[in-house]
Amino acid sequence: MEDVTARRTVVVTGASSGIGLAAAVDLAGRGDRVVLVGRDPARLRDAGDRVRDSCGEQPELFRADFAVLDDVRRLAERLRAAYDRIDVLANNAGAIVLQPVTTVDGFELTMQANHLAPFLLSNLLRDRIGRMVVTASGAHRSGVLHPGDLNATLRRYRPMRAYGTSKQANILFAAEAARRWPDVPAYSFHPGVVRTRFGNESPVVALGMRLLPFRSPERGAETLVWLANQDPARLTSGGYYHDRRPRRPLPKAADPALAARLWTASAQAVGIEE
């Protein structure tokens, strides 16, 4: 049971911009001690300054590149050394990769950055976490997850298929975490189509991000912040949410057997025991 009277520690990954930064600003304004995790040092510092300007307190900053699993392991060690308890872990870091890329760890970059890295981080911090929120997406509809081959999307690569597959994995991960870790409430959510830095490398995508009526990062972060603050008794652990309401993901993101197989494959991939 969470102690709501004490000041909470909230770790937000992907906090340099977009939904993560908006959530960090909101949570800090509510009195939480926010911890920002990001890849780019300059943008991470800028994000820390924005949080400080909003609440008057400088947040802790941790740099880590989720394209490198050793970076994730070092991040977990540093977080464990710094905090005896992480009341909320917001697994928000994510990317859309426009070209097929294999990481130094041997995995398709989207799957590693969006699923395997947060899976590893969560497992390494498991005994410190009070609750977990995972940024998923309605894009899971384009997912084609095959736990036996986490690199399947590298063949005939399509960015949205790879992204959708990683988001399908996010929903399944949160559901399976809730089953395996009954003392850690876990939720996934769809933030809506949010105007972020995604796809900035593509002129076509960048133009669409400017012209289409996408949500602001602040609007996209609302459900994350709500899930981080709502009484767990009012929520369904393992559930998928959108606009602060429970929603039913597509069957391929709600299959318990597939979720269990994904967990086993992910644990093997990142080198941890189940």
Catalytic residues: 163
Q: Give the 3-state secondary structure of residue 253.
A: helix
Distance (Å, whole) CA 179 – CA 159:
31
Beta bridge partners of 91: 134
Distance (Å, whole) CA 179 – CA 68:
28
Distance (Å, whole) CA 10 – CA 131:
10
**DSSP H/E element including 9:** strand 9-13
Q: Take residue 95 and report the two structure tokens written for it.
A: 């990317």
Distance (Å, whole) CA 159 – CA 165:
10
Distance (Å, whole) CA 177 – CA 237:
9
Q: Take residue 208 and report the two structure tokens written for it.
A: 């669409």
Q: Take residue 204 and report the two structure tokens written for it.
A: 């076509």
**How would you classify the pairing of strands 9-13 and 86-91?**
parallel
CA 41, distance to chain mean position in Å, is 19
Region class of 100: left (phi > 0), else alpha (psi between -120 and 50), else beta: beta
Q: Where are the beta strands (DSSP E) in 115-273?
A: 129-135, 186-190, 240-242, 245-247
Owner of token pair 């690199």: 151
